[in-house]
Structure 1
Amino acid sequence: MTARLDTTTQSPQLFRKFGEISMALKKSSLEHPLQALVEIRASQINGCTFCLDMHVKQATLQGEKPLRLHHVAGWRESTLFSPRERAALAWTEALTTLSPQGVSDELYRQVRGEFSEQEITELTYAVMVINGWNRLNVAFRTPPGVLDQAYGLDKAGLAV
């Protein structure tokens, strides 16, 4: 895959601001393993190999179990995820693939049963942000792994 252009040099201020939102989410009340699941699932749905590669490597470095990472795509059938994680994954899917009917009351009740109002807001921002990154990297064909060394992701031991 050949990158179409480098957004960091074409629009550095916007790239920096979007990065600031991402960093603020890392300081939110949502636990990091949950955020990783959200990032991975949205990236799978959106076909963003750059983000999928990055977030699997980050999750690995943070101690996530490999089998759970393999099960994210089939989380509904897997027994490896808690009710809280399942609610977050369902919310991620609903917001990533918005239906004409929007988000159902049933799903909102499920999410509300696992998350506080603040956490639901932060979870929604997490889904919004990863979808934005996905769209940016899919549009401009950012090759997976190009920032591994810069972000320390080469330490995950997942290079080809």
Structure 2
Amino acid sequence: MTNSNAPSRLNYQQQSPELMKKLVDIGMGIANSGHIDRGLSLLVDILASQLNGCAFCVDMHVKEAKLHGERELRLHHVAIWRESPLFTAKERAAFAWTDALTRIAPNGVTDELYAEVSAQFNDKELSTLTFRVATINAWNRLNVAFRTTPGIYDKAFGLDKAGLN
């Protein structure tokens, strides 16, 4: 376990701006595709970030979801989605897919899970959801590796308006 109070290591955004831009472009392409609901995308981002222990991303995406109108109790229940009655079958399928792709098992993704997710998402949506999970995992790994301080960009991103500081 890492010390969340430890100082940031380096600013990867300044060190590799051209790569940062490409990752932002991928994220914007996914967000603007219209294939996955914005609210669901944010919940997926929160879950993957929780699984990866990325304080920066959990902080950011909870604030984004709140600004997007997500109910606070559902935000608290993301961590316990399997037991919570607050999520739809489609959201549960997305969470199971996110979990499986974030913590890839030695035997990969089961046919049963693929069938479950395919029953909730068409091919285009499932492809986009998979890119979403892959992208948030990339962000998580960058922010965990370099200990990006949670909330550091709140004002710049308008996240201070969530009232969660």
TM score, norm. by length of structure 2 = 0.95
1:158 aligns with 2:158: no
Equivalent residue number for residue 31 of structure 2: 26
How far residue 2 of structure 1 moved from its aligned partner, in angstroms, is 1.1
- Structure 2 CA distance for aligned equivalents of residues 119 and 21 of structure 1: 16
Identity %: 57
In the alignment, the residues of structure 2 paired with residue 78 and residue 137 of structure 1 have an alpha-carbon distance, to the nearest angstrom, of 28
Question: Which residue identity is paired with 1:46?
Answer: N
What residue in structure 2 maps to residue 85 of structure 1? 91
- Matched residue type, 1:140: F
Count of aligned positions: 159
Query: How far off is 1:8 after superposition?
Result: 1.2
Instruction: Flag structure 2 segments of 5+ consecutive residues without an equivalent.
Output: 1-5
Deviant stretches of 4+, over 3 Å:
none
Structure 1 partner of 2:100:
94
Q: Gaps (5+ residues) in structure 1?
A: none
Aligned alpha-carbon RMSD (Å): 0.5
1:64-91 deviations in whole A, cap 9, x for unaligned?
0000000000000000000000000000
Q: Counterpart of 2:81?
A: 75
Residue equivalent to 1:12? 17
Deviates more, 1:19-28 or 1:62-71: 19-28
Q: Matched residues in 1 for 2:147 and 2:29: separation?
A: 26
Please name the residue that 1:143 is paired with.
149
Deviations 1:34-82 (A, max 9, x none): 1011100000000000000000000000000000000000000000000
